[in-house]
Amino acid sequence: MRPQTPEQATRDAIEHLSTLIHGIKVAMMTTVDADGSLHSRPMWTQDHDFDGDLWFFTRVRSHKVEELEEDHHVNISFADPARERYVSVSGRCQLEKDPRRMRDMWSPALEAWFPQGLDDPELALLRVSVQRAEYWDTPTLGASGPDSSASNLTFS
Amino acid sequence: MRPQTPEQATRDAIEHLSTLIHGIKVAMMTTVDADGSLHSRPMWTQDHDFDGDLWFFTRVRSHKVEELEEDHHVNISFADPARERYVSVSGRCQLEKDPRRMRDMWSPALEAWFPQGLDDPELALLRVSVQRAEYWDTPTLGASGPDSSASNLTFS
Ligand SMILES: Cc1cc2nc3c(=O)[nH]c(=O)nc-3n(C[C@H](O)[C@H](O)[C@H](O)COP(=O)(O)O)c2cc1C
């Protein structure tokens, strides 16, 4: 093993996660409700160059935004059953209303959920800063016990 | 709308959820860690008649069991991108070591994760009692805005 600086380790983790989630269009975002229960919902992913943050479009007035105001922890899970690839991303999430970034990230596929497009005053972004990721893919799956089969990526 | 007793509503919800998740072999189970961060991992689903509880095999000594001892809330998400079907199940989870049930639920596919099979002293079940489910499937998709597109099932 070659010695690695923490910065290089983070860069490698970012690159690896970027490859793992590439092509998975919809992820499940889990949040914590006021009573402690956990909810998830499908969210359209952004295929822009991943640099340590994941981005999603959202409506400002929505249940998930309320939940995130109380508890900013999220899990984003990516499941690709056809390739037997599963990725769990743990992070913290915040709402951002950055018109320029929204323009950059907008894609026509989003019109199904946001018919008014970029003009929608309710439109905003959720930024997930990734703390940790775990993944299971074909070579790992089934290679060993369920708790030893995950590979870890740590972001600092 | 025909009048419905609460018992009938629960029976209907159970039947509906059972249909929705049928055929989805792997679900992502999200748990809360001691520091509040959320982790998920793929879990092999049991296709036995769903009666309001979801069951998964686990090892007793595992990180998720530790997490569940502190906070028993879980989210189970079922994603079937090919059929554009997404289901979020919120529930509470507990460990059960019931040899008879384990024998009933065992399937050879589990040997990939539990090579010792039913003889493994570390083998146990996780029972998730379902509180609430939300789902998105093709007919709901794109029909309206993102906040109206989920359908709800409540279990009492
Ligand atoms: C395939 C798919 C992709 C979706 N993508 C998004 C999205 O990118 N942003 C969003 O806010 N809602 C999206 N939705 C709708 C959400 O799943 C959810 O219904 C909505 O955000 C409201 O969730 P909440 O009440 O928990 O806030 C999508 C739904 C589906 C089925």
Higher-pLDDT residue of B16 and A147 is B16
Beta bridge partners of B87: B78, B135
Q: What angle (nearest 5°) sits at the alpha carbon of residue A32, between those of residues A85 and A114?
A: 75
Q: What percent of chain B has pLDDT over 90?
A: 71
- Contacts (Cβ under 8 Å, ≥6 apart) of B127: B53, B54, B55, B93, B94, B95, B96
pLDDT digits (tens, 9 = 90+) for B112-132: 889 999 999 999 999 999 999
pLDDT digits (tens, 9 = 90+) for B74-92: 999 999 998 899 999 999 9
Say what the alpha-carbon torsion angle A112, A113, A119, A124 is, to the nearest 10 degrees. -140
The pLDDT score that the predictor gives to residue A37 is 98
Q: Does position B60 have pLDDT exceeding 50, yes or no?
A: yes
Contact at CB, B39 and A90, closer than 8 angstroms: yes
**Among A37, A73, A141, whose Cβ lies nearest the Cβ of B73?**
A37
Contact at CB, A81 and B80, closer than 8 angstroms: yes
Q: Please check whether the domain covering A6-154 is classified as CATH 1.10.260.40.
A: no
Residues of chain B with C-beta less than 8 angstroms from the C-beta of A63: 147
A128-145: b (≥16 Cβ within 10 Å) or e: bebebbbbbeeebbeeee
Nearest to A93 by CA among A136, A49, A124: A124
**Distance in angstroms (rounded) separating the CA atoms of residues B108 and A125:** 44
Contact at CB, A37 and B141, closer than 8 angstroms: no
Give SS3 for A104: helix
ipTM above 0.90, yes or no: yes
Fold of B6-140: Pnp Oxidase; Chain A (2.30.110)
For chain A, domain boundaries:
6-154
Instruction: Kindly list the protein residues whose Cβ atom lies closer than 6 A to any atom of ligand 1.
Output: A 26, 39, 41-44, 56-59, 62-64, 113; B 86, 136, 141, 146-147, 149-150
Mean pLDDT of A70-89: 95
* Nearest CA distance, A56 vs chain B (angstrom): 13
User: In 10 A of CB B27, how many CB atoms?
Assistant: 26
pLDDT digits (tens, 9 = 90+) for A28-63: 999 999 999 999 999 999 877 788 999 999 999 999
What's the pLDDT band for A145 if we cut at 50, 70, 90? very low
Asked whether the beta carbons of A75 and A29 are under 8 A apart, the reply is: yes
**Distance in angstroms (rounded) separating the CA atoms of residues B115 and B99:** 17
Give the residue, out of A40, A44, A65, A105, with the most ligand 1 atoms within 8 A of its beta carbon, to mutate for a pocket test: A44
B79: phi > 0 → left, psi -120 to 50 → alpha, else beta; which?
beta
Paired tokens of B91: 């529930």
**Distance in angstroms (rounded) separating the CA atoms of residues B93 and B68:** 7
**Distance in angstroms (rounded) separating the CA atoms of residues B124 and B97:** 5
Distance of CA A18 to the CA centre of its chain: 11
